[in-house]
Structure 1
Amino acid sequence: MSAHVENPGHETVAVIGLGSMGFGMAQSMKRAGLDVTGYDLVQPTVQRFVAEGGRGAGTPREAVRDAGIVVSVVVNAVQTEAVLFGPDGVAAAMKPGAVFVSSATMDPAVARSLSEQVEALGLHYLDAPISGGAAKAAKGELTIMASGSEQAFAAARPALDAMAAKVYELGNTAGTGAAVKMINQLLAGVHIAAACEAISFAAKQGLDLTKVYEVITASAGNSWMFENRIPHVLAGDYTPLSAIEIFIKDLGIVQDMARAERYPAPLAAAALQMYLAASGAGMGRDDDSSLARLYAQLSGAELPGQNKEPHKA
């Protein structure tokens, strides 16, 4: 990068949102030698980060006071906007030349709007949704789909290098990263639905599900989601590593984008209906592999651990 960024505190980072992803991202940056301050609505989580050697803050504004990089790891566009411009919003407290790195999954049009508002304040905005799950976040091995100005990339580089195994630089305007993430989420949501449909169908056939898993993961019908999610079904453990409600949100965004473009997305639409049905059946906060339980309920198939109490978040 050729641009020089006036940002002498570029190695001081604030992480807003210390959930399963944000905590690991904060750990990875701290491990890389960055000075990291964490904030979360759940103060015991902040205390845990402090106990592991990080800094803690009682408010978002306190967290960003000295930060050259602010990494926002919240769920959606509404929460991102609140982090920036809400009652304790960080945009007014960030120092000139600092960069706001937005990791939430959102509609590309919203990402562009937030970027314009942030940049009007003399700050930088990097549209940087993430993929890889909590385990890779903790190892600093995420995939980041980023777009933004050259200055935003330069300012965020220390954090990006610490958090990710792969950083895809997808363009110089916000929204492109968000759009690529939505393509990923379309595939992920459909693949999980297909995997759950298949394993429940196998159960309905009376097959040995462990053997089915072994065969499929060595065959052409395998997918990353089948390989990753079906062990939850085999264990009868639906503790939420990624909840049903996440894909209701994400596939809902896909449908909104598709409708605006007059683009048919029937497979994503069908998958969304299954997630909605699972949520309506009381599984919204359970793991997204709970679609298999829904198929079992609809068909009378028997899955492992079927008589267990469902996880309560």
Structure 2
Amino acid sequence: MKKIGFVGLGNMGAGMAMNLQKSGFQVLAYDLDKDKIKELEKEGIQDCESIKEVTEQVDDAVITMVRNQAQTEDVIFGDNAITSADNHNVTVVVMSTLNPTIMEDLEKKVSAYDLNLLDAPVSGSLSGAEKGSLAIFSSGAQEIKEQLKPYFEAMGSHIFDLGDKIGAGQAAKLANNLLLGINMVGISEAVKFGNSYGLDEEDVLDIVEVSTGNSWAANNWGEIKEYKNNGTLDAIYKDLTSVIAESTKNKTFVPVSGLVLNVLHNSMDSEDNSNK
């Protein structure tokens, strides 16, 4: 049984790790939430005391699925982290959503430790993580992508090979989440407009579902309405901020991105004020 490392067992990570375990791989896991680990141990996932311990036991890869750049760098370069382990045949698989610039910087830093890096963010929400139906956007060395493909197939049903350049996977994920943000704002305004003429939200959504305005956001509006600050809404806001920063760097004109970011910002402020 091949051993695969997994760091970050939040809502998405837990489902992904479980599907790896169910597919016949031995998952060696680390998370600060030990209660979460205890739940997953019942399914065969093995708890490790440190990321270093995870890394020293795996056959070929450690997956990181944490929230942001700081956490990702801590997993790779921190105390008792991946780079502190005596195992240099390991690929660090970043499945978190960061941005292309961050991934390019990580590639340079990781190469100094004779480790490999693969860029492989995911899309498909919590339901996709639990069902093993995620879309995975992979970029990096072709040989490594082929080697790790069985892991990806255990977690996703749509595996995209986006070439050798680290950061391309992140660019694809950000492009997708830009469109998600646009659709979220669009559905919200469509429902509001319909309401002003006495149309119920359910009627508007039923019409959109069979018409040209349909989208994943429309079909999953019930789930999206539950997005909260300090959770998925924060993640989307972070991603749109990255889109604008990367577009500024590349001199790419994306005016709608800024508008959607402002709408989300105001929405998040309203939620914060209502909770005070």
- TM-score normalised per structure 1: 0.82
Aligned residue for 1:297?
none
Corresponding position: 1:219 with 2:211: yes
Match of 1:273 among 247, 262, 268: 262
1:70, CA displacement in angstroms?
0.5
- Show structure 1 runs of 5+ residues with no match: 1-8, 285-308
Corresponding position: 1:25 with 2:16: yes
- Between the aligned residues of both structures, percent identity stands at 29
Matches within 5 A, 1:1-313: 11-67=2-58, 68-93=60-85, 95-230=87-222, 233=225, 237=226, 243-283=232-272
Aligned residue for 1:305?
none
**What is the letter of the counterpart of residue 24 of structure 1?**
G
**What is the letter of the counterpart of residue 159 of structure 2?**
V
Q: For 2:135, what is the secondary structure of its paired residue?
A: strand
- Assess if the C-alpha contact under 8 Å between 1:99 and 1:156 holds in 2: no
- Assess if the C-alpha contact under 8 Å between 1:192 and 1:225 holds in 2: yes
1:18, CA displacement in angstroms?
0.5
Deviation beyond 3 Å, 4+ runs, structure 1: 230-233, 237-242
Deviations for 1:254-290, whole angstroms, at most 9, x for unmatched residues? 0101111222211111110011112222359xxxxxx
The separation in 2 between residues aligned to 1:43 and 1:197, in whole angstroms, is: 42
Deviations for 1:188-208, whole angstroms, at most 9, x for unmatched residues? 111111111211222233212
The separation in 2 between residues aligned to 1:228 and 1:40, in whole angstroms, is: 29
What number of residue pairs does the alignment pair up? 275
- Assess if the C-alpha contact under 8 Å between 2:65 and 2:95 holds in 1: yes
**What is the letter of the counterpart of residue 197 of structure 2?**
Q
**What is the letter of the counterpart of residue 9 of structure 2?**
L
- Assess if the C-alpha contact under 8 Å between 1:213 and 1:230 holds in 2: no
- TM-score normalised per structure 2: 0.92
The separation in 2 between residues aligned to 1:12 and 1:238, in whole angstroms, is: 34
**What is the letter of the counterpart of residue 47 of structure 2?**
G
Higher percent of residues as helix: 2
RMSD: 2.2
Q: For 1:91, what is the secondary structure of its paired residue?
A: helix
Deviations for 1:171-223, whole angstroms, at most 9, x for unmatched residues? 11211111111111111111111111211222233212212211111111111
Q: For 1:165, what is the secondary structure of its paired residue?
A: strand
**What is the letter of the counterpart of residue 134 of structure 1?**
L
Q: For 1:145, what is the secondary structure of its paired residue?
A: strand
- Assess if the C-alpha contact under 8 Å between 2:61 and 2:90 holds in 1: yes
Distance change >3 Å, CA 58–CA 120, structure 1 → 2: same
The separation in 2 between residues aligned to 1:42 and 1:202, in whole angstroms, is: 44
1:72, CA displacement in angstroms?
0.5
**What is the letter of the counterpart of residue 18 of structure 1?**
L
**What is the letter of the counterpart of residue 15 of structure 2?**
G
Q: For 2:81, what is the secondary structure of its paired residue?
A: coil
1:78, CA displacement in angstroms?
2.1
Aligned residue for 1:293?
none
Distance change >3 Å, CA 230–CA 270, structure 1 → 2: farther
**What is the letter of the counterpart of residue 249 of structure 2?**
A
1:241, CA displacement in angstroms?
11
Deviations for 1:210-239, whole angstroms, at most 9, x for unmatched residues? 122111111111111111124655xxx556
